[in-house]
Amino acid sequence: MTRGSILEYLLAVKGRYLRATKADKKKVLDEFVRVTGYHRKSAIRALNRPNPGKRIEKRGRPKKYKSTVASELKYLWEITDHLCSKRLHPFLPELLNVLKRSGSHMINPVVETDLRALSPSTIDRLLRTCHQKGGSSRFSTTRPGTLLKNSIPIRTFTDWT
């Protein structure tokens, strides 16, 4: 069953479940679990929920920094050639002052104060999507060498000749 059809069925059964006696509720619940494949306790919660399928409010702590802060931070991160957050953090105030003096990129004063208040871990969190798109690291040019590998004798299961 699709999510939409489960919600339709839930709305159809909900009234019958809420009006039923304890013995009848067991029968309605057995039918609902058999049809939808829900776990029994999850089905009870779904049938007793005031407004099924819709959350009234978003759970968790509200976001402190808006998407504008993340986009400006991404711009600054790309200017600095993808510095890590621990090195970017102390450099941000100076970088913002240079951008303000040059006038090449205008940043909203509210966003600027938010950028100055960021911690290195918050910088990492805001740039997580950019890091995932990056792929492999660009700076390492070291490759495993075969010279050393070929010069080391390796004993096999037979005697050497």
Nearest to 33 by CA among 45, 22, 21, 23: 45
pLDDT in tens, 6-53: 889 999 999 999 999 999 999 999 999 999 999 999 999 999 988 755
Q: What is residue 118's predicted lDDT score, i.e. its pLDDT? A: 94
Tens of pLDDT, residue by residue over 129-153, are: 887 766 555 566 777 777 777 777 7
Please enumerate in sequence order all residues whose Cβ is within 8 A of that of 155, keeping only pairs 6 or more positions apart, or say none. none
Which residues neighbour 120 within 8 Å (Cβ) at sequence distance 6 or greater? 85, 86, 88, 89
Using one digit for the tens of pLDDT, what is the confidence trace for 40-57?
999 999 999 887 556 667
What pLDDT, on the 0 to 100 scale, is given for residue 50?
81
CA–CA dist 57, 2 (Å, integer): 24
| pTM of the model as a whole | 0.52
Residues whose CB falls within 8 Å of the CB of residue 111, separated by 6 or more in sequence, listed in order: 66, 68, 69, 72
For residue range 84-116, list pLDDT tens digits in order: 999 999 999 999 999 999 988 899 999 999 999
Position 95 scores a pLDDT of 93
Neighbours of 148 (CB within 10 A): 8
130 backbone dihedrals φ, ψ, rounded to 5°: -70, -40
Summarised one tens digit per residue, pLDDT across range 59-91 is 888 888 888 999 999 999 999 988 899 999 999
